[in-house]
Structure 1
Amino acid sequence: MIFNALNIILPTFRQYEGLDKPIRLLIKVLRGNLVFSEQIAVPLKDEIQLVKEYLQLRLLGDPSRIRIGWDLPSVIPDTWLIPSMSIQIPVENAVKYAFDPEDENASIQIRIMEKRQSLYIDIEDNGIGLSVSGNPRQEEQGTGYGLEILRQTVDILNSRNKNKMSFIINDRSHLEPDGHGTLVSIIVPFDYTFEL
């Protein structure tokens, strides 16, 4: 119903220069989030498209505030499935919480590769990391619940699979001496089943 209402009023916004594109992006992102939230797994390329649209919408006012890097395979088969929102949620958390507003070097890198009969996904930011001065970052804000739901989903799915999926969140300061930021790593075996 909300999408129908937005589509009805969309022609009204065309008279205001610059509003048509943001409203269209908003409709796409809302629709994608609604559809994906009802699915256990989605094709990787659909998730990538949703994340790109979200980032376009989120950074609309200041597209250079955070540099976004994508390192993707040249071909992404329709058969490559991942847990729904497993890229969206970490990217959204990074955009919302990882950077000070004055940070001029803010970046998020999304790397996806195929190796050893598995799909490897890394979402890495160079922000404040999971802890600053010993105090854990407030993961329970916003999509912090999304991360917990994602963890629970992976645990349930892993209980039904011989080859397990990995879902690991690391503070980069624990991985490298001068590192800062967060690294979310997901490994999905190609023979993984998403049936509950």
Structure 2
Amino acid sequence: MLKPDAEITQKITSVVKRKYKNVAESLTNQFRYPTGKEGLQGLGYPEELIEVLPDDVAKWYCGVGNPLSLSPIESGENVLDLGCGAGVDSILAAKLVEPLGSVVGVDLSEEMIERALRNKELAEASNVTFQTVDDTELPFEDGQFDVVTTNAMLNLVVDKVRMIQEVFRVLKKGGRFHIADQILVGEAMSQEQAVESWFK
């Protein structure tokens, strides 16, 4: 597979950042699927887990599936949440791995990370950290995490091959990669159509 064109990558990243700057201010009319507490319930998050979230945190949930359900996340594990957005999945994972485990949430949007940090304080989740990562190069050591999770992030990444290589680099041997994402149903676009679709 060819490495994506640098100029196109930069343009698409700018579009994604602009979109999620707006999302960090309000989820209203941003997505076609349920968000907030309704989204968590509709996607099968356990009610006892939803209940640990303050309402002012749960309302910021935005995802297309429940990646935390794909294998048990155990107390004491270290978890990386790629494309953490407002941090709801990260905070829920932090509740699952406490008291000795930890979670790192990363996102390319500074505004979403700011929102995640506010949600962390509201949820009193001391074992989760958030940071901006503006590249497919993850700033973590090899084999650092037991679980890498992502909820509707890979579809936004231009160089998916590089991103997945980085995921497997930072996973421990025998670690788990939890993916919830959107897929294309129907005829695949040409590369030109795919690029054009980002800039409509």
Is TM > 0.5 for Structure 1 vs Structure 2?
A: no
TM-score (norm 1): 0.28
Task: Give the structure with the higher percent helix.
Answer: 2
Task: Give the structure with the higher percent strand.
Answer: 1
* Structure showing greater Rg: 1
TM-score (norm 2): 0.27
